[in-house]
Amino acid sequence: MKQSKPSMHLSKQVVIGVQFLFVAFGATVLVPLLVGIDPSIALFSAGVGTLIFHLITKGKVPVFLGSSFAFIAPIVEATKLFGLAGTLSGLIAVGIVYIGMSALIKAQGLRFIERLFPSVVVGPVIMVIGLSLASVGVDMAKTDWIIAVVSLLTAIIVVIYTKGLIKLIPIFLGIVAGYSLSLILGKVDFTPIQEAAWFSLPPFVMPEWSWKAIVYMIPVAIAPLIEHVGDMYAIGAVADKNYVKDPGLHRTMLGDGIATSFAALIGSVPNTTYSEVTGAISLTKITDPKILRISAITAICFSLIGKVSGLLKSIPQAVLGGIMLLLFGMIASVGIRTLVESKADITKTRNQVIISIILTVGIGGAVIDFGNFSLAGIGLASLVGVVLNLVLPDTSKPVHMDDEH
């Protein structure tokens, strides 16, 4: 039942808007730190991307955009293969996939996506995303296991034993705890902070055209695309509004797509709807889109303070490694939960085949070459899963059923 709420005073809106940024802060800056991109450009693109999203969705949806963890592994691998500038062209293509899906949803409806990406495809793809970087997390953590374990345990304690907004910032608090211990042990290099100017523009990077990177990155859009659908339902349930109908899922997905392509054009990580902010909205019941626009403006302001970027760059590898040990395992568990909650029948040989091949192809490092092109990792696993699902048709339930909402 809809309730009319009195308008909130602007000063209170600003305070809550800044608070929301800190809920999203850990995820927003962790992705660029792990893939080797300056965190200031990620804050800038997240802020601008969020404003773009609100413009496209007529200012109706309370969303703050950031980079999904699903992109970490493919960006790391693609950067090794094609360089950062080439990888950016692949990320532009990911945004274009979102835009194309937006058009298909407007023309065909949501069932089109549900048929193409059932849980037996999406679940194992999400598991591959989480597990494919497990060794990277361990390598970073073992640079100092004591610091890594403190970071990890702090995040675990926050996730399991705390309540309220604190529960939503385990990454942020884990990094704070690990960084504090690093300071005590003298393990922090202050050079990035000292060299950073107080005020500076983020370091923009121009993309370079790379067909290989585009082919590599496009299939990666599947998991965050499905996450977007779920988030729209979840936020709509809290606000008691049907955002899938108004302003329409085609508009929200278009907003994600244009924001992602914009981010890649200036050298940043993709900007999509993601679960941390959805969780914060569900907990606080604050659904005024204006507050999220304040968060976006705050992020842009932070991106112009060079010392903030310098501070983030000074975080020791062991701190990030400890967080990654939890993070990537949690992503894999989300994949398992996707299979369980959708009641996918994994006793069926057909479904076992699809799940098994996605996991072995994705984690095993399979590569398929097409002349000058190659497809590998999560992208290849996703494509194989979609193709197998189409050639081995089934009536298993999709990831998100609208009759539940």
Task: Specify the range with the lowest mean pLDDT, choosing from 82-86, 248-252, 313-317, 394-398.
Answer: 394-398
Residue 71 pLDDT class (50, 70, 90 cuts): confident
**Model confidence at 127: pLDDT above 50:** yes
Long-range contacts of 336-340 (CB under 8 A, 24+ apart): 336/123, 336/127, 338/119, 338/122, 338/123, 338/126, 338/399, 339/119, 339/120, 339/123, 339/124
Question: Is residue 67 exposed (0-12), middle (13-18) or buried (19+ Cβ within 10 Å)?
Answer: buried
For residue range 218-264, list pLDDT tens digits in order.
Answer: 877 877 787 787 778 778 877 888 888 889 889 999 999 999 999 99
The reported pLDDT for the residue numbered 1 is 42
Give the rounded percent of residues in the chain with a pLDDT score beyond 90: 20
Q: H helices within 36-169, ranges in order?
A: 39-56, 72-108, 111-116, 119-131, 134-141, 145-161
Handedness of CA 46, 121, 338, 161 (dihedral sign): negative
Residue 401 pLDDT class (50, 70, 90 cuts): very low
The predicted model scores a pTM of 0.76
| Among candidate residues 137, 140, 53, the one with its CA nearest the CA of residue 102 | 53
Residue 403 pLDDT class (50, 70, 90 cuts): very low
Among the ranges 63-72, 256-265, 387-396, which has the highest mean pLDDT value?
A: 256-265
Task: Specify the range with the lowest mean pLDDT, choosing from 4-18, 36-50, 194-208.
Answer: 4-18
Give the rounded percent of residues in the chain with a pLDDT score beyond 70: 89
Structure tokens at 399: 């990831």
CA dist., res. 28 & res. 297, Å (int): 14
**Residues 99, 26, 207: CA angle, nearest 5 degrees:** 40
| Among candidate residues 356, 365, 74, the one with its CA nearest the CA of residue 220 | 74
Residue 276 pLDDT class (50, 70, 90 cuts): low
Structure tokens at 323: 């967080």
The reported pLDDT for the residue numbered 314 is 86
| Residue 95 near residue 258 (C-beta atoms within 8 A) | yes
**Model confidence at 4: pLDDT above 60:** no
Q: What is the mean pLDDT of residues 356-382?
A: 78
CA dist., res. 66 & res. 89, Å (int): 19
The reported pLDDT for the residue numbered 357 is 92
Structure tokens at 247: 């302003």
| Phi then psi dihedrals of residue 162, to 5 deg | -100, 170
Bond preceding residue 247 cis, omega within 30 of 0: yes
For residue range 314-364, list pLDDT tens digits in order.
Answer: 888 898 888 888 877 877 887 888 788 888 888 888 999 999 999 998 888
| Phi then psi dihedrals of residue 174, to 5 deg | -65, -40
The reported pLDDT for the residue numbered 154 is 93
**Residue recorded with tokens 């691998």:** 77
Q: Which residues contact 27 (CB under 8 A, 6 or more apart)?
A: 66, 67, 69, 171, 274, 276
**Model confidence at 95: pLDDT above 90:** yes
**Residues 134, 136, 142: CA angle, nearest 5 degrees:** 105
Quote the mean pLDDT of the chain.
Answer: 82
Beta bridge partners of residue 374, listed in sequence order: 369
CA dist., res. 94 & res. 100, Å (int): 10
Structure tokens at 340: 């369980």
Q: Tell me how far apart the terminal alpha carbons of the chain are, to the nearest angstrom.
A: 14
The reported pLDDT for the residue numbered 394 is 65
| Residue 60 near residue 255 (C-beta atoms within 8 A) | no
Q: Which residues contact 305 (CB under 8 A, 6 or more apart)?
A: 198, 199
For residue range 284-293, list pLDDT tens digits in order.
Answer: 677 889 988 9
| Among candidate residues 343, 111, 123, the one with its CA nearest the CA of residue 244 | 111
Give the largest Cα separation in the chain, rounded. 62
Q: What is the mean pLDDT of residues 128-151?
A: 85
The reported pLDDT for the residue numbered 293 is 92
For residue range 13-46, list pLDDT tens digits in order.
Answer: 777 777 677 767 766 777 888 788 888 899 999 9
Q: What is the mean pLDDT of residues 203-210?
A: 87
* Angle of helix 10-35 versus helix 170-184 axis, rounded to 10: 70
CA dist., res. 80 & res. 98, Å (int): 25
**Model confidence at 369: pLDDT above 80:** no
